[in-house]
Structure 1
Amino acid sequence: MLKKPPHLAHRKKSRMTLMLVPNDAKKIRQFTCPTWLPGILSGVLVLTLTLLSVSTARFSNQLENTQQALIAEKITVAELTEENRRHQQEIVTLTDQFHEIDGRLSMLSELENKVLHMVGLETDSSGEETLTETGEDPTGSEEDYFSRQFLLVTRSSDSRSQGPVYDTYEVDVAHLSELIESQTTSMTQLVDDVEKQLDYLDAQPNQWPASGRISSRFGYRVSPTNRRRTEFHQGLDIANSSGTSIAAAGSGIVTYSGYNGGYGRMIIISHGYGYTSVYAHNSQNLVEVGDRVEKGDLIGRMGRTGRATGSHLHFEVRVHGDPVDPLTILQ
């Protein structure tokens, strides 16, 4: 039988004993393990801790990167939110501006309709002026030249603009506001001018004052009461039956109503603008001094008072006090 070498024969196996002593005097537990096992376990623990540290470091780095990305996203969201808020405010501002412009366009349209109504015209759907009796818009549409111009300006600016759309709109709104302001001023002035012109036309004594035949014209003639004498006739004689209505040839103020020698019963109306009209030989005056009369109003009745050979109206028109041929003024 073989024997072990001397250096191995005296060598004993190394072992470790782990004892667990409880506090309550219970049975003591002990565990025995080889001496190399704690080293291995320690190595495994160190390796595990090392791997865990590396993993934790990598996770911490990823977490930090994620947090930074989240912060960047939050900043982006905040910027977008602020930009959206700014755009919303711009939309509100633009809406207010467009409402203001719409109101000014409506005012401008009213001025335009007023002018057209004053002259008895209106625009149809084709944009041409038409004569109406009621003065109402046959199409019922309020779209006008300025609304179309705004659309054209907006589209052209959009096609040329290299910047934000809102900047383009601001330019368009400013341009349109200037256009509306200019046109409103012009239209207001036009209304004033038309009113003055209409007042002038209404005051001008150009309406025939009575119906009948012309029995004597303006200029030199043989005197109807003295056939041997020539005289200058300052007016126009319109003959008709006694009691025929006499109308004001133009709007104005009655400055004389009474009996005046050879003129008989006479009415004088001052129309302004230098015009005065005379109505003589009346059988009856129906207005008094100071009365305001409109063109076409009944002011008297035809007769043969004063120096007259028959029933007629002697009608004169004077410009700045000088008699003129009524036929050059009457319509």
Structure 2
Amino acid sequence: MKNKYTFLMIPPDHGPARQFQITLKGKRLVISGLCSFALLMVGLFSYNLYLSHTVQSQQAQLAALEQLQQENKTKDQEIARLKEESLQVTQDISRIQDLELKLMSILNLDPSKTPSFSTTGTKTTASAELSRGTASPFASQTFISDPEQISRELSLLQDYYNLALDNQEEIKHTPSIFPLKIEAAVASEFGYRRNPFGGYSKEFHNGVDLPCNYGTEVYATASGVVSVSGYDRVYGYLIEIDHGDGIETIYGHNSRLLFKVGEKVEKGDLIAYSGNSGRSTGAHLHYGARINGKTVDPLQFTDFTKEQ
């Protein structure tokens, strides 16, 4: 037949053959179907490749996301640790400030000044230094940012505070503070000096001369009982305090005395006003000390630096 195609199908056992006829239009439909099927298979294969690539990309993104989540978890833990550490540091600093104030009260130190570690003469124990007022727990002025170092400083300060409490009475009766609340250099030191009244002779100066204006407040450098209060031809208006354990302090050339013999004074009490009375060449305070009747340098008890 014209415009028709005949297909014979012969079985392998040589059975009856079968034939099929399709028209040209049917041929075109078959070819179109085969092409469409081929395009479909190519599309499915391409889509499968796309899905495979997408899955791999998403797996990589999920892995990166999991890594970020782990990093965030680690950072959260670090932040929590730092917060806890910061809280501990804040508490330690607060404790340090509290202990400093308590120690300043016991040692009768001026909070506006920063003392430093110092010793006088030979090496001494921390207990002796604290009782004499020559060792200070407030020596470091460097900013401390290391929490472990702050903890060590707190522990050290706590030891000083406990030591100060144990030696509180001894500290009170040790002349470890300066008799004037003004900055004053030593005009004449303890020991032999040239006679201030002229000539080339030398004399032994049994104290230190602290220049100050007439009427400057003079304070007791330790607690005790007034043993002398009156006028002396050499030291003018003079006050002496017995601090016990053989320690005495002397304050001379005053213009006015505020305590009488037998009265008790506390460390830091205002006891007199400076002047120019007695054998003096100008307004100043003569400050001296004795231990068991022997004259000593009164500044050996303090951390006062002669060169200011």
Give TM-score, length-normalised by structure 2. 0.46
From the CA coordinates, give the structure whose radius of gyration is larger. 1
Greater RCO (CA < 8 Å, at least 6 residues apart): 2
Give TM-score, length-normalised by structure 1. 0.43
